Amino acid sequence: MPYFFVYVLKSKIRDFIYVGYSTDYKERIKRHNNGKVQSTKAFKPLKLVFLEIYINKSDAKRRESYLKTTKGRTTLRTMLKNTLK
């Protein structure tokens, strides 16, 4: 059974967080840190600070979309208050 991952990356050099979705989060994070993802290229290196696992693709995509909203980002910053310092 395939798994679907929603992940949050934090830039090690700037105040920047990125929310993404993938079926292979480890490979996807490598692509982010190798500068192969346009939206995060200027913020590398990035580190994984949050990961959720889903068995349903639609649920994972819905969660990713929510976390990208203003309310979702506020929720993330509250949940990860100490991690994102």
* pTM confidence score: 0.94
In angstroms, what CA-CA distances link 61 with 25, 30, 41, 64, 83?
A: 14, 21, 23, 5, 24
Architecture of domain 4-79: 3-Layer(aba) Sandwich (3.40)
CB 4 within 8 A of CB 23: yes
Q: Write out pLDDT tens, residues 27-85.
A: 999 999 999 999 999 999 999 999 999 999 999 999 999 999 999 999 999 999 999 98
Neighbours of 21 (CB within 10 A): 21
As a whole number of angstroms, the distance between CA 67 and CA 75 comes to 8
What residues does each domain of the chain span?
Answer: 4-79
